[in-house]
Amino acid sequence: MKTTWKILRRRPSRIVGLILLIFFTLMAIFGPLLYPNMTAVNSQQIYAAPSIHHLLGTDYAGRDIWVQIVQGAQNVMFVAALGALFTIVIGTVVGLAAGYLGSIVDSILMRITDIFLTVPSITLTIILAVTIGLTNYFVMAAILSFASWGGLARAIRSMVMSVRERSFVEVSLGLGLSRARILMLDVLPNLLPYIIVHLMLALTSTVYAEVGLFYLGVVPFKADNWGVMLNYATGGSGAMYSTQSIMFLLSPILAIVLLQTGIVLTSDAVNEIVDPRLRTAG
């Protein structure tokens, strides 16, 4: 705990990142409680400037932008977290299985991994999303992680292979511990730092793809999402070309940039917390 604080304090940017991440997480959790209803269309209030009543102003239909951002946060954050989790789980399981079981399992799993690594992942994700449809959070997360676990699986596999060579695993085998037990007790903890770092990376790329799907407008807008706002702001509403409507364009952009910044800056600290080799004096 003390080291964590020390590492955070070493670079103020890390504290900023953590605050941003906590801010958006709270927004995602409590947003729906705060604003349970869709904000009403109000033709009297089109593109209103920010005020006490409308923190970020209103959109082309007079709806409150701040409320939309808060409501969109839940979709963005929940799907991102779930998608990143799926990516990590699939990648870790495949990597562990391939690296530890070896032989035929290894070659089959790695051939499959190779295919996923070579396929243009965004393209495949878009096709999947359109075909299957983004019906609920779990389906969205599954689709987003489907094409993105290959890199982790490969890395985990090679790490397992090198950990397997180390003496303590041999000793455990000699003591008659089962393979599964060794995998869980000896091998996995050694890989944990890498997996945690990868989780942060996966978060940013899931946010990227998820919001992007909505921005492109190729999937039905069933959910509130910053991507939907960005799509309207740059497309049909014409908000892009008027200074009066700047808040409608700027809000989703800022939300995405700040969320990604938060994740990146936090992962900078996480990196150092889980990997003591990065710690240096001074």
Binding site for another protein (CB under 8 A): 11, 13, 114-115, 118-124, 126-128, 130-131, 133, 204, 207-208, 211-212, 215-218, 230, 233-234, 240-241, 249, 253, 256-257, 260-261, 263-265, 267-268, 279-282
Give the residue with the Cβ less far from another protein, 22 or 184: 22
Cα angle, residue 253 at apex, residues 27 and 249 outer, rounded to 5°? 110
- Smallest distance from another protein to CB 234, Å: 6
- Report in angstroms how near the CB of residue 246 gets to another protein at its nearest: 8
Residue that the structure tokens 């700047």 belong to: 246
Q: Which is nearer to another protein, 37 or 243 (CB)?
A: 243
Contact 198, 76 (CB under 8 A): no
Residue closer to another protein, measured from CB, 119 or 184:
119
Is residue 76 within 8 Å of residue 28, measured between CB atoms?
A: yes
Q: 86-104 as b/e, with b when 16 or more CB fall inside 10 Å?
A: bbbebbbebbbbbbbeeee
Least Å distance, CB 161 to another protein, is 19
By beta-carbon proximity to another protein, the closer residue of 161 and 246 is 246
**Cα-to-chain-centroid distance, residue 57:** 28
Distance of alpha carbon 119 from alpha carbon 60, whole angstroms = 39
Question: Residue 75 Cβ, how far from another protein at the closest point, in Å?
Answer: 16
Report the nearest approach of another protein to the CB of residue 59 (Å).
16
Q: How many CA atoms does the CB half-sphere of 98 hold within 13 Å?
A: 24
Query: Which is closer to another protein, CB of 103 or CB of 280?
Result: 280
Q: Compare residues 88 and 211 and give the one whose CB is closer to another protein.
A: 211
How many residues belong to the chain?
A: 282
Do 58 and 70 form a contact (C-beta atoms < 8 A)? no
Q: Report helix angle 150-165 to 103-118, nearest 10.
A: 150
